[in-house]
Amino acid sequence: MARLSLQDVRDLAQRVLRRHGFSEPYVQAIAETMVAGERDECASHGIYRLLGCIATLKAGKVSADAEPQVVDQAPSVVRVDAGGGFAQVPFRAGLPLLVKKARQQGIAILAINNCVHFSALWAEMEALTAEGLVALACTPSHAWVAPAGGRKPVFGTNPIAFGWPRPDGLPFIFDFATSAVARGEIELHRRAGKAIPEGWGIDAEGRPTTCAEEALNGAMLTFGGHKGSALAAMVELLAGPLIGDMTSAESIAFDAGTKSAPFGGELIIAIDPGRILGPDADQHLARAEALFEAIQGQGARLPSQRRYEARERTQRDGVEIPDALYAELKALLD
Amino acid sequence: MARLSLQDVRDLAQRVLRRHGFSEPYVQAIAETMVAGERDECASHGIYRLLGCIATLKAGKVSADAEPQVVDQAPSVVRVDAGGGFAQVPFRAGLPLLVKKARQQGIAILAINNCVHFSALWAEMEALTAEGLVALACTPSHAWVAPAGGRKPVFGTNPIAFGWPRPDGLPFIFDFATSAVARGEIELHRRAGKAIPEGWGIDAEGRPTTCAEEALNGAMLTFGGHKGSALAAMVELLAGPLIGDMTSAESIAFDAGTKSAPFGGELIIAIDPGRILGPDADQHLARAEALFEAIQGQGARLPSQRRYEARERTQRDGVEIPDALYAELKALLD
Residues 49-68 in A contacting B (C-alpha not used; CB under 8 Å): none
Q: Which residues of chain A fall below pLDDT 70?
A: 119
d(CA B314, nearest CA chain A) in Å: 24
A282 vs B156: which has the higher pLDDT: B156
Interface with chain A: mutation pick from B110, B227, B285, B289, highest number of A CBs within 10 Å: B227
| d(C-alpha A149, C-alpha B102), whole Å | 35
| d(C-alpha B76, C-alpha B74), whole Å | 5
Contact B280 A77 (CB under 8 A): no
B322 vs B261: which has the higher pLDDT: B322
pLDDT of residue B119: 67
Residues 119-158 in A contacting B (C-alpha not used; CB under 8 Å): 134, 146-152, 154
Please name the member of A149, A224, A238 whose beta carbon is closest to the beta carbon of B299. Answer: A149
The tens digit of pLDDT for each residue in B192-215 reads 999 999 999 999 999 999 999 999
The one-character DSSP state at B302 is P
Please name the member of A74, A149, A269 whose beta carbon is closest to the beta carbon of B300. Answer: A149
B134 vs B255: which has the higher pLDDT: B134
Q: Are the C-beta atoms of A86 and A29 separated by less than 8 Å?
A: yes
Q: For residue B106, which residues of chain A lie inside 8 Å, CB to CB?
A: 73-77, 108-109
d(CA B240, nearest CA chain A) in Å: 8
The tens digit of pLDDT for each residue in B286-330 reads 899 999 999 999 999 999 999 999 999 999 999 999 999 999 999
Contact B228 A224 (CB under 8 A): yes
Contact A223 B227 (CB under 8 A): yes
Which run of H or E residues covers position B51? Answer: helix B49-58
Contact A73 B290 (CB under 8 A): no
- In three-state secondary structure terms, A324 is helix
* Residue A68 φ/ψ, nearest 5 degrees: -65, 140
In degrees, rounded to 5, the angle at the alpha carbon of residue B96 between the alpha carbons of residues A104 and B242 is: 45
d(CA A202, nearest CA chain B) in Å: 15
pLDDT of residue A19: 97
The tens digit of pLDDT for each residue in B38-84 reads 999 987 789 999 999 999 999 999 999 999 999 999 999 999 999 99
| d(C-alpha A54, C-alpha A19), whole Å | 10
Alpha helices in A202-278 (DSSP H): 212-217, 225-238, 248-255, 273-277
Contact B107 A79 (CB under 8 A): no
pLDDT at B246 over 70: yes
Interface with chain B: mutation pick from A97, A104, A105, highest number of B CBs within 10 Å: A105
| d(C-alpha B105, C-alpha B100), whole Å | 9
| d(C-alpha A301, C-alpha A292), whole Å | 9
Contact B105 A249 (CB under 8 A): no
Contact B244 A77 (CB under 8 A): no
Residues 283-302 in B contacting A (C-alpha not used; CB under 8 Å): 284-285, 287-288, 290-291, 294-295, 298-302
* Residue B233 φ/ψ, nearest 5 degrees: -65, -40
| d(C-alpha B113, C-alpha A221), whole Å | 38
| d(C-alpha B91, C-alpha B126), whole Å | 12
Task: Indicate the pTM of the whole model.
Answer: 0.96
**Band of pLDDT at residue B87, cut at 50, 70 and 90:** very high
The tens digit of pLDDT for each residue in A166-214 reads 988 899 999 999 999 988 889 889 989 999 999 999 999 999 999 999 9
**Band of pLDDT at residue B256, cut at 50, 70 and 90:** confident
Q: Flag the least confident range among A77-81, A243-247, B242-246, B256-260.
A: B256-260
Please name the member of B223, B288, B290 whose beta carbon is closest to the beta carbon of A227. Answer: B223
B167 vs B146: which has the higher pLDDT: B146
Q: Which domains does chain B possess? A: 1-58+304-334 (1.10.1530.10), 67-179+222-303 (3.30.1370.60)
Torsion sign across C-alpha atoms A234, A236, A239, A242: negative
Sequence length of chain B is 334
Is A44 assigned a catalytic role? yes
pLDDT of residue A94: 98
Share of chain B above pLDDT 90, in %: 89
SS3 content of chain A, % helix, strand, coil (to 5): 45, 20, 35
The reply to whether A111 touches chain B by the CB within 8 Å rule is yes
pLDDT of residue B260: 84
Q: How many CB pairs under 8 A join A and B?
A: 232
The tens digit of pLDDT for each residue in B8-31 reads 999 999 999 999 999 999 999 999
Q: For residue B234, which residues of chain A lie inside 8 Å, CB to CB?
A: 162, 164, 174
| Distance set, CA B117 to CA A329, B78, B184, B277 (Å) | 55, 19, 13, 35
Contact B224 A226 (CB under 8 A): no
- In three-state secondary structure terms, B206 is coil
